[in-house]
Chain A
Amino acid sequence: DDPVEIRFAHWVPPTHPLQQAITEWGASLNEATGGTISVTIFPAQQLGAAKDTYDMVRDGIADMGYINPGYTPGRFPVFDAANLPFNITNATDGSAAIDEWYGNYAEKEMGDIYVCLANAHDPGTFHSKEKIVVPGDVNGLKVRPANGTISKMVTLLGGQPVQVSAPESREALERGVADAITFPWGSILLFGIDKTVKYHLDMPTYVVGFVWGMNKDFYNNLSDAQKKAVDDHCNPEWAKQTSIGWATYESGGRDKIKAMSDHTVTTPTDDQVAEWRKAVAPMEDEWKKAVNDAGYDADAVWNDLQDTLKKYNSKY
């Protein structure tokens, strides 16, 4: 087989656990193809803006890319289900579930790329200056949301979304531009936000789903053996495998924060969780409407996701 190089674009710094995941995935693929496929990683938006990753892959500017569909609201309505709150409890088996579920719709929704796999980051939650336990506590707060979906949730709960980049969020919180933030746990420590937010809600509020996409022509030009090797690296097991490093990193943050004496970590009761679910229920309806409008049977898609999550023990 002809040796080929995959130019893999992502948008986090090379020090991020994701870089390691891609490196390991690439090394395994390289071995499986007898060294004929190698992966070169272009981190930190070197080949283009984070929001453009899907288009970059489609157009062959990058051969592969790490896509955050939440960056382009309205564009991938089916995939948005993965981002809906109070849905998924973990990023490892949960990623396998998302991958298996989205495999049924990827050809239609992301048909102009080869969807290798879909996965998620470890669940994020509210971290705040004032205690948040029930949905009513978000009312009137300025919250830095993770993405468009969470932004809608904040608005729904009567809060104000504050749009700043992840690195700017520490300053935004320190100066009172924001009162709370939704983040996975480890990132709170990574960005030094633990100095400002002392209250944490121990509830898998949301995950952010991602897609590893490959340029279609690139895939089609591979030899049959190479295609098979790629296919073997694009499945629920690899979706799980590639999310473990980051998930471990993030969930490790929860234990560290719990051990800090000046931090308060609150676990909501079952009634309180029910209250949260009820408060965000309109988002599910809104999602179903958008998906129906896009020509899918929203209820079927939704039930499929729920069943798959149950199968992988990651239904919240």
Chain B
Amino acid sequence: MNAFEQLIKRIVTFVDGAAAMFLAVITGLTFLTVVLRYGFNASLPGSFDIGRLLLGVAIFWGVAVAAYRQEHIQVDILWSALPRKARGYLNLFADLVFFGCAAVFTWMFLVRVLATRASGETTFELDVQIWPFHLLAWLGIALTTVVLLARIAHVVITGNFDVPSNLGPDDDGPQDYPAGEP
């Protein structure tokens, strides 16, 4: 594993943990809102907007981690019927399509973040600027693009189509059932 892939792995690990912390904050804010309302007849100004903006950051960072661990939901019906080698080609194709879409998404979303910054849009309460949250969320999409690029580069450079489901060999992926299946 080269230095580039090591670096990506470290960033993904950090992003993973940070997104988890955001979820903790969102849950805590929700809990506090209810407790304050019934316990103290009080409200937490801005919690609604901060909660939803953090949700956006957490989700987009999670998208990057899921791309790294290949946990985005796919239809396996054809894939599972194919021989090993063909599966590798199919993986590469899917990654290429995903990469193309992620790259366009990264670009267009950055345009949007800059437009939001220029527009000066704020939250309903507390007048907090919205664009910094969107910029944080954008980092997740940018990272998704880089992760996919790294995986494609790995396949093309090594010529090994038999890629593992993630770049790191001992990455402790989250669970033993497919992510995102409701």
Q: Is the CB of A151 within 8 A of B124?
A: yes
Q: Is the CB of B125 within 8 A of A155?
A: yes
Q: Is the CB of A73 within 8 A of B37?
A: no
Q: Is the CB of A73 within 8 A of B123?
A: yes
B119 to chain A: which residues have CB within 8 Å? Answer: 72, 74-75
A61 to chain B, nearest CB (A): 12
Kindly state the separation between the CA atoms of A74 and B121 in the bound complex, as whole angstroms.
Answer: 5
User: Is A148 on the interface with B (CB-CB < 8 A)?
Assistant: yes
**A147-172 at interface with B (beta carbon < 8 Å):** 147-148, 151, 155, 160-163
Q: Is the CB of A148 within 8 A of B42?
A: no
B48 to chain A: which residues have CB within 8 Å? Answer: 163
Kindly state the separation between the CA atoms of A163 and B46 in the bound complex, as whole angstroms.
Answer: 10
Q: Which of B41, B42, B125, B129 contacts A161 (CB 8 A)?
A: B125
Measured CB to CB, the nearest residue on chain A to B119 is A75
B contact face: mostly helix, strand, loop, or mixed: loop
Number of inter-chain CB pairs below 8 Å:
36
Kindly state the separation between the CA atoms of A142 and B42 in the bound complex, as whole angstroms.
Answer: 9
Kindly state the separation between the CA atoms of A55 and B164 in the bound complex, as whole angstroms.
Answer: 42
Kindly state the separation between the CA atoms of A213 and B120 in the bound complex, as whole angstroms.
Answer: 20
Q: Is the CB of B124 within 8 A of A177?
A: no
A73 to chain B: which residues have CB within 8 Å? Answer: 121-124, 127
User: Is B43 on the interface with A (CB-CB < 8 A)?
Assistant: yes
Q: How big is the B interface, by class?
A: 10 to 19
A contact face: mostly helix, strand, loop, or mixed: loop
Kindly state the separation between the CA atoms of A151 and B124 in the bound complex, as whole angstroms.
Answer: 7
Q: How many residues of A contact B (CB 8 A)?
A: 16
B124 to chain A, nearest CB (A): 5
A72-B119, A75-B119, A163-B48 are known contacts. Are A148 and B124 too (CB-CB below 8 A)?
Answer: yes
Q: Is the CB of A75 within 8 A of B42?
A: no
Q: Is the CB of B125 within 8 A of A151?
A: yes
Kindly state the separation between the CA atoms of A55 and B116 in the bound complex, as whole angstroms.
Answer: 10
**B20-46 at interface with A (beta carbon < 8 Å):** 37, 41-43, 45
Bitwise interface map of B from 93 to 122 toward A, beta carbon under 8 Å scored 1, else 0: 000000000000000000000010001111
Q: Which of B37, B45, B120, B125 contacts A75 (CB 8 A)?
A: B120
12 A-B residue contacts at CB 8 Å?
A72-B119, A72-B121, A74-B121, A75-B119, A142-B41, A142-B43, A147-B124, A151-B125, A160-B43, A163-B48, A163-B124, A177-B37
On B, residues with C-beta under 8 Å from A are 37, 41-43, 45, 48, 115, 119-125, 127, 129
- 4 closest A-B pairs by CB: A74-B122, A160-B43, A148-B124, A75-B121
